[in-house]
Structures are given as structure tokens and as C-alpha cells.
């Protein structure tokens, strides 16, 4: 299968691209920055240049593809860019008659405040969530007639952790300024980035179309406790300052509630199970991986 991956040089994107390549697929990794091409080639992914916000730069890369894995959110125009992607894929199918499987990534923070102790694929999101528009985009994709699968990951950790909340905590710990934003009692579901990558492989290999999957492990620790463990692994022994969610910016506000989910559907239909039990099992290992990921490799 030939697969185009958007956000291929991002945190999840690189691990997902590499996992798909290891599974025997031909993977095209979309990147805006030619300097990142080497990293993709190391993972046996073919780099293709293009800016997702400019369809003219990547439209031709849809030719010959069997699937598109969408793993990036354009912060400048998240809804508009995703709608453009859906439209371009539909137009490509009209041009060549080739059917494509779209794997669309959102996330559990899109649920917003539901008041439920555990959420799953059937839980309606709160329309007042700051990123609730992503559920609306899921519905638009379903109505488009494109073959598709929606993936809603938990909070990611592991590896370089570049955009993981754990990376923010590690960095703040090393600077001596860790802050916890929002409700100290809130709990989040997490997933190791490589376990998440495995879910994408399973979705495409099994042809699990027109489905929604929540992908997360089964841990239920308060986010404040996970942060305490993370900053301790980074060598911080002082007090973590508390601030309102608004002080942390848009994404902290979006995640300022319980976000606990069940992946029972993925267990049942995909045979997916997390191989990494919890970030808290070996936080020192995850801190070392983050530190190493910040250092340029030596030639």
C-alpha cells in the first residue's frame, strides 16, 4: 500500500510513518522543511515536500496513494486546512477513480467537559469545548463519502516527546520553574507514541474503515501526580507552582477537565493493546529519551 502521511516529521508523525514503513508499506512523508528529509529516509520513508496550507504544493503527491494518514493540526486555520484536505482527496478520486482510505487524527481533548467518568467513541463531545470543532470535522468527513477512520489518541508520551505535555514538564523542571495549570484533581488518559503508531498500522492493515477509535492506555492517575513524577525524574525537588488554566494558554484551557477514555473497541476490533503500561513505570527512561532527542546526532 502507498500511504501519504501529513505531519510526518512531527512527534507522532515520525513514529507512525516509521511503523508503517516497517510493516511493508511505501510511505510518503509530507514535510515543509527539506532539511528534515534525512530523518525520514533513515526510517525508510520517502520525503515529499509540501505545505499543507498550500494545496498546490502537495496535490500531486496524492497520485498513486491508497491511503492518507493525517497527523497535523494547522494552528493558523485548523478547520479550513482539514476541509481543504478532504476536498482535495475527493477531487483526486474523481480524477483517477482510485479509492483512498483517510485516517484522520483528532484527540480526546476535543470531548471537553462531559461530566462522565469514562468516555468512548459514542460519547458526544461538549460543543463548548475550545477544540470541539474537531468533532464537527469528523462528522463532515463521515458525510463526505470518503472511506475513513477517525483516531482519537490520549495524551502522548515516550521517545523525544517533542510536543508531549511531559516534554513541557521536563523542560520546566530543568529551568526550576514547573507550573501546573488548572484543576489539580483532573485525570487524563495517556498512550505511548509507539503504541499509538501500532494502532495506525492495524487500522490500515485490517481495512478498518468508517470507524472511530479511541487509543489510550488504562491508567487513571491525576495529571498533577504524573507531573510530579516527571519533574522528579528531571531532578526537581521543589514545589510545583499552581496557576489557572488560562495562564497556560489555549491548549491548557482545552484540557482542563477529566479526560478518561476506554479503548475497549480498539481491543475488540483491532486486537490493539498497549505494550507500555504507563509513563510512571519508568519516568527516568522517558526523561533520558527526551534529553537525547534534543541533542543533535554526531556524524
Tens-level pLDDT at each residue, the chain (299 residues) = 999 999 999 999 999 999 999 999 999 999 998 888 899 999 999 999 999 999 999 999 999 999 999 999 998 999 999 999 999 999 999 999 999 999 999 999 999 999 999 999 999 999 999 999 999 999 999 999 999 999 999 999 999 999 999 999 999 999 999 999 999 999 999 999 999 999 999 999 999 999 999 999 999 999 999 999 999 999 999 999 999 999 999 999 999 999 999 999 999 999 999 999 999 999 999 999 999 998 654 33
pLDDT for position 297: 45
State how far the Cα of 27 lies from the Cα of 273, in Å rounded to an integer. Answer: 24
Closest CA to 261 of 103, 116, 136: 116
pLDDT for position 296: 57
Global pTM? 0.96
User: If you ran DSSP here, which 8-state letter would residue 210 be given?
Assistant: S
User: If you ran DSSP here, which 8-state letter would residue 119 be given?
Assistant: B
Q: Which contacts qualify for 245-253: CB closer than 8 Å, 24 or more apart?
A: 245/181, 245/182, 245/183, 247/179, 247/181, 248/179, 248/181, 248/182, 250/130, 251/109, 252/181, 252/182, 253/130, 253/182
Assigned CATH for 2-160+189-217+260-277: 3.40.50.720
Contact by Cβ (8 Å): 36, 47? yes
Locus of grid cell 499552581: 242
Cα angle 36, 40, 45 (rounded to 5 degrees) comes to: 145
pLDDT for position 3: 98
pLDDT for position 295: 64
Amino acid at each position: 500500500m502507498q500511504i501519504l502521511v501529513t505531519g510526518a516529521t512531527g512527534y507522532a508523525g515520525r513514529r507512525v510513518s516509521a511503523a508503517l514503513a516497517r510493516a511493508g508499506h511505501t510511505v510518503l512523508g509530507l514535510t515543509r522543511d527539506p532539511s528534515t528529509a534525512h530523518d525520514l529516509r533513515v526510517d525508510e520513508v520517502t520525503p515529499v515536500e509540501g505545505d499543507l496550507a498550500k494545496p498546490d504544493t502537495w496535490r500531486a503527491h496524492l497520485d498513486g496513494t491508497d491511503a492518507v494518514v493525517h497527523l497535523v493540526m494547522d494552528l493558523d486555520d485548523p478547520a479550513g486546512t482539514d476541509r481543504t484536505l478532504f476536498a482535495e482527496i475527493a477531487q483526486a478520486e474523481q480524477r483517477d477513480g482510485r479509492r483512498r482510505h483517510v485516517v484522520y487524527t483528532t484527540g480526546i481533548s476535543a470531548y471537553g467537559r462531559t461530566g462522565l467518568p469514562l468516555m468512548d467513541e459514542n460519547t458526544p463531545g461538549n460543543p463548548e469545548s475550545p477544540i470541539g470543532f474537531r468533532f464537527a470535522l469528523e462528522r463532515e468527513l463521515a458525510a463526505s463519502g470518503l472511506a475513513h477512520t477517525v483516531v482519537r489518541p490520549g495524551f502522548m508520551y515516550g521517545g523525544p516527546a517533542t510536543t508531549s505535555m511531559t516534554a513541557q514538564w521536563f523542560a520546566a523542571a530543568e529551568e526550576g520553574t514547573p507550573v501546573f495549570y488548572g484543576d489539580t484533581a483532573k485525570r487524563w488518559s495517556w498512550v505511548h507514541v509507539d503504541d499509538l503508531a501500532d494502532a495506525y498500522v492495524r487500522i490500515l492493515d485490517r481495512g478498518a474503515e468508517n470507524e472511530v477509535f479511541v487509543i489510550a492506555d488504562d491508567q487513571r492517575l491525576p495529571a498533577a501526580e504524573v507531573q510530579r513524577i516527571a519533574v522528579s525524574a528531571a531532578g526537581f525537588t521543589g514545589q510545583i507552582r499552581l496557576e489557572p488554566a488560562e495562564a497556560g494558554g489555549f491548549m491548557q484551557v482545552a484540557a482542563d477537565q477529566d479526560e478518561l477514555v476506554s479503548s475497549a473497541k480498539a481491543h475488540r476490533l483491532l486486537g490493539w493493546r498497549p505494550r507500555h503500561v504507563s509513563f510512571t513505570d519508568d519516568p527516568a527512561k522517558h526523561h533520558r529519551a527526551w534529553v537525547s532527542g534534543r541533542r543533535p546526532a554526531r556524524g
